[in-house]
Each structure stands twice: as structure tokens, then as C-alpha cells.
Amino acid sequence: MNNDELIRKFLQENVTQPDDNGFSERVMRHIPRYTPVWIALLKAVLLVAAALLVFFYFDLWTIICNKIVELIQWIAYAKHTSLSPLLLLIPAGLLAYGADRLKVFR
């Protein structure tokens, strides 16, 4: 008997594999719910479709464009009045935040 066989035989004779004894059942009780990939994808697609539907149905694009125009007009007006230029930081901050969030989609 060579050394490999000697060690293998010794280990196989002296080490016994544990019986299941309800172990698998215990494991299955502890595993959380699993969402398959296709369900997660389907959910995402449905959510995006619903969002697009709402967006176009209520013509949100025009509303957003109008709001941007109003904002620009307000900024232009603020330059000629006594309003603090520091107030410009608010829309600037909002725009910067929006631009930062857009990075997620790239």
C-alpha cells in the first residue's frame, strides 16, 4: 500500500460523514424568499412602462419645460432686483443634484 492509499484508507475508516437528521429541513426553513431574475426584470420593465405612461398621459414634459422657463425668468428677474444673489444657489444646487442623479443611468 502506498502512502496515498494509506492516508485515504485511514481517513475513510476513521471519519464518518454525518447523517442528515433533519439538517436539510432546518436549512430550508431558514432560507429567505428568492425573487428570480426574470421576475425582478419584469417588475422593472412594468414600473418603467407605467412611469412613461403617466409621463405622457399628463403631458409632464410640457409642464417641466414651462417650469424650467419660469425658473430662468425668475433668475433673470432676480439679477435686476434687490434679491440676494445667494438665492441662486438653491436652483444651482438642485440642478447639480439632478445632474448627479443622471449619472446612475449612464
Partner 1 sequence: MAALSDQMLITQVTVFGSRRAYDTLVQRHQASLRQFLLSLTGGDGMLSDDLAQDSFVKAWLQLNTFKNKSSFKTWLFRIAYNVFYDYIRSRKEVQSIEDVETEVNSFYKQQANDGSLSSDIQQAMQLLSANERTCITLFYLDSLQIKDIASVLNMPEGTVKSHLARGKEKMTTFLKQNGYE
Asked if 41 is part of the footprint of partner 1 (rule: CB under 8 A), the reply reads no
Q: Whose CA is closest to 74, among 98, 61, 92, 99?
A: 92
Q: Could you tell me which stretch among 19-27, 55-63, 64-72, 75-83 binds partner 1 (CB under 8 A)?
A: 19-27
Cα 25 to Cα 12: distance, rounded to the nearest angstrom: 27
Smallest distance from partner 1 to CB 27, Å? 5
Does the CA dihedral 29-32-33-36 come out positive or negative? negative
Centre a 10 Å sphere on the Cβ of residue 88 and count the other Cβ atoms it contains. 14
Asked if 85 is part of the footprint of partner 1 (rule: CB under 8 A), the reply reads no
Smallest distance from partner 1 to CB 44, Å? 15
Asked if 81 is part of the footprint of partner 1 (rule: CB under 8 A), the reply reads no
Asked if 43 is part of the footprint of partner 1 (rule: CB under 8 A), the reply reads no
Cα 75 to Cα 81: distance, rounded to the nearest angstrom: 10
Q: Are 78 and 87 in contact (CB under 8 A)?
A: yes
Smallest distance from partner 1 to CB 46, Å? 18
The residues of the shown chain that bind partner 1, judged by CB under 8 A, are 1, 3-4, 6-8, 10-12, 14-15, 17-20, 23-24, 26-28, 30-32, 34-39
